[in-house]
Amino acid sequence: MFAFFLSSGLFLGWSLGANDASNVFGTAVGTKMIRFRTAAIYCSIFIILGSVISGAGASDTLGKLGAVNAIAGAFIVALAAGTSVYLMTRLRYPVSTSQAIVGAIIGWNIFSGSLTDTDSLTKIVLTWVACPILSALISIALYKLVSSLILAFNIHMFKLDALTRYGLLIVGALGSYSLGANNIANVMGVFVAVSPFSDISIFGLFRLSSAQQLFFVGAVAISVGVFTYSHRVMETVGKGIMNLSPVAAFAVVAAQSIVLFMFASQGLESFLAAHGLPTIPLVPVSSSQAIVGAVIGVGILKGGRCIRWRTLGGITSSWVVTPIIAGLISLIALFFLQNVFEQKTFRPVAYQLTPAALARIEQAGINKEKLAPVAGKKFANAVMFNHVLKKTGLGPEQRAFVLKSAEIDAIVVSPAAIAKIDAHWFSPEQLTSLKKLCGRTFTHEWQLADALARQSDQWRPSAHDSLHNQDLQNKLAYLYRLLRITNAPSSANVSG
């Protein structure tokens, strides 16, 4: 069943490859500097590398926007996003896959009664504005720099032509890597929370996480889209907005590659944080917006008269329409899948301020007296509970902490479940700590995490090691899925 439901993610990946490959090689193909087949080969290889090696960063923010907790729901979300992207691809518009998946996730949130994380949504929407502007500024700077170097060194026309071809291949490869790293979250991000995979070791040389395995499958689907259907959109980007010279094409692709890398690199984020500098949010930004912004930047530098504003208007209009279409398709399809085909599109999550949750909230410095009117009451979903919390006067961050603390679950550490665990993924000390909890039950996810942390340092987050923290989150998410009593109703009678 997982393989069947994953098919919509593969369709979305194919749609992304068909549409977004134009963003890294469209200008090169449109200017006749690189053949389409060559571009497709380079694009596919580096998309796969970028997805597997660096795809985890942006997927975390997308997961916070809405944690799709049922495989059938993830199927519909990916299908809705893929369908909206496909429709725009048929119209030859380089649309934003990021906007499509965000619209589809919000549709799932509305249908399931889940809360849309406004902080994550605001962060993502702001990048939709900042991305094309930043890309335009970088393309202007690069174009002026490259033009100055050509004049300074008096490069012969034939030599310049050869250098430009190599340059377009290099920046196209880097752009493809960045595209995979940043946009694989759009393709497979909704499946991460429901993935049945565990980490695997490849000949003892390196380890692939469950998310990386999903990202590899999604990247292959993107590559198929590149080869089978991206040529038409490449022509729109390469020649539709304005005619680009080879040097301008180089500046445009380089600018887009830099912008995508900036919003996907966990290494860059760690470097900036370590030096006390403002960090760049790790979000799946739109490669379409980045490349269009870069093209406009060069066009403005040349006076703006060469820009085909009508084509540009059609592209920007498609950016507005795409998330709306994806959200509507998501809502309608979820209704039919659940009510007509009787598939479970979401796992109901109830909320209750149990004594344990109130104690945790008090330890965090939040005045629990404000919560006295709702203590012990049970709420069917996050939207209902958050509506009541707003009346308590708590701030957004405090409400988010209360919501997470009050989320009801039914987790049992049983010998049968422990026997199913992939022992190669967990350290001996981590497994020993888990076995000591055998027979225990927990009302909240965080109670299991706290109990494990009290048993061993290896279950505690690190203040400095982000890789350890990411691995810890993956293991805990795997345990929650494995130990959860899926058929039992969420009940506060289960105690930790």
pLDDT in tens, 361-394: 999 999 888 899 899 999 999 999 999 999 988 9
Percent of the chain topping pLDDT 70:
92
Q: Which positions ≥6 away from 185 have C-beta within 8 Å?
A: 55, 58, 59, 61, 62, 284
* Confidence class for position 17, pLDDT limits 50, 70, 90: confident
Q: Computed from CA positions of residues 67, 70, 76, 78, in that sequence, does the dihedral angle turn out positive or negative?
A: positive
Residues in the chain: 496
Q: Are 70 and 190 in contact (CB under 8 A)?
A: no
- Domains of the chain: which residue ranges? 2-339, 351-406, 411-483
Between strands 378-379 and 411-412, the pairing is unpaired
Alpha-carbon span 291 to 252, nearest angstrom: 7
Q: Are 26 and 238 in contact (CB under 8 A)?
A: yes
Average pLDDT over residues 154-178: 88
Q: What is the DSSP letter of 240?
A: I
Which two three-digit tokens encode residue 59? 């997927």
* Residue-wise DSSP of 28-90: HHHTTSS-HHHHHHHHHHHHHHHHHHH-HHHHHHHHHH----SHHHHHHHHHHHHHHHHHHHH
Treating both helix axes as pointing N-terminal to C-terminal, what angle do 56-65 and 97-112 enclose, rounded to 10 degrees?
40
Mean pLDDT of the chain: 85
The least confident of 54-58, 286-290, 346-350 is 54-58
- The long-range contacts involving 427-431, CB below 8 angstroms and separated by at least 24 positions, are 427/458, 429/456, 429/458, 430/456, 430/458, 430/459, 430/475
**What pLDDT does 431 receive?**
94
| Of residues 40, 73, 94, 276, the one with CA closest to residue 191 | 73
Question: Token pair 């709702």 is at which residue?
Answer: 374
**What pLDDT does 490 receive?**
42
Longest CA–CA span in the chain (Å) reads: 80
User: What three-state secondary structure class fits 124?
Assistant: helix
Residue 109 has pLDDT above 60, yes or no: yes
Residue 487 has pLDDT above 50, yes or no: no
Which two three-digit tokens encode residue 189? 């991000």
Treating both helix axes as pointing N-terminal to C-terminal, what angle do 309-339 and 287-301 enclose, rounded to 10 degrees?
170
Alpha-carbon span 73 to 89, nearest angstrom: 24
Question: Token pair 């445009």 is at which residue?
Answer: 252
**What pLDDT does 493 receive?**
38
**What pLDDT does 93 receive?**
72
**What pLDDT does 453 receive?**
96
Q: Which positions ≥6 away from 308 have C-beta within 8 Å?
A: 240, 241, 242
**What pLDDT does 118 receive?**
82
Alpha-carbon span 455 to 90, nearest angstrom: 56
Average pLDDT over residues 460-485: 85
Better pLDDT: 494 or 120: 120
Alpha-carbon span 218 to 182, nearest angstrom: 13
Alpha-carbon span 364 to 315, nearest angstrom: 47
Report the amino acid identity of residue 419: A
- The long-range contacts involving 367-376, CB below 8 angstroms and separated by at least 24 positions, are 370/394, 371/402, 376/352
Bridge partners, residue 378, by sequence:
352
Alpha-carbon span 110 to 189, nearest angstrom: 19
Number of Cβ within 10 Å of residue 355's Cβ equals 12
Between strands 378-379 and 351-352, the pairing is antiparallel
Better pLDDT: 190 or 363: 363
Enter the pTM of the model: 0.81
**What pLDDT does 112 receive?**
93
Q: What are phi and psi of 355, to 5 degrees?
A: -55, -40
